[in-house]
């Protein structure tokens, strides 16, 4: 349940400037924070992400005798894909696209 305006942090709608200020303050911490990531801009470039859901729902997975081997093979990245991710995400923790990929690597 959302708080009423009488106990909210501010008694007006949150403006873009408020979000920018909060993001700037979190950036000054010099480390990754979940809230900073939420406030960050969407990536300008979108790379195709191999997801476990896409692999296990594919016809190839259903037909595979050895599902684990199939899954591992499908999730591997080629050298070209790795280089593309590296090139597209220079700046790492300050780059929203890198953060998106980093979340999948855990």
What percentage of the chain has pLDDT greater than the value 90?
21
Q: Can you give the pLDDT at residue 32?
A: 74
Quick: pLDDT tens for 8-42: 577 788 888 888 888 888 888 877 777 877 777 77
In this prediction, residue 59 has a pLDDT band, given cuts at 50, 70 and 90, of very high
DSSP string over 11-70: SSPPPHHHHHHHHHHHHTT-S--HHHHHHSPPPSS------HHHHHTSHHHHH-SSHHHH
Q: Can you give the pLDDT at residue 58?
A: 93
């Amino acid at each position: 349940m959302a708080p009423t305006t009488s106990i909210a942090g501010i008694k007006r709608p949150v403006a873009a400037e408020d979000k920018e200020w909060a993001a700037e303050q979190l950036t000054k911490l010099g480390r990754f924070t979940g809230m900073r990531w939420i406030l960050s801009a969407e990536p300008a470039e979108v790379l195709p992400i191999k997801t476990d859901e896409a692999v296990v729902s594919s016809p190839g997975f259903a037909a595979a005798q050895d599902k684990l081997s199939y899954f591992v093979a499908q999730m591997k990245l080629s050298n070209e894909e790795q280089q593309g991710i590296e090139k597209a995400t220079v700046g790492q923790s300050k780059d929203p696209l890198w953060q998106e990929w980093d979340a999948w690597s855990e």
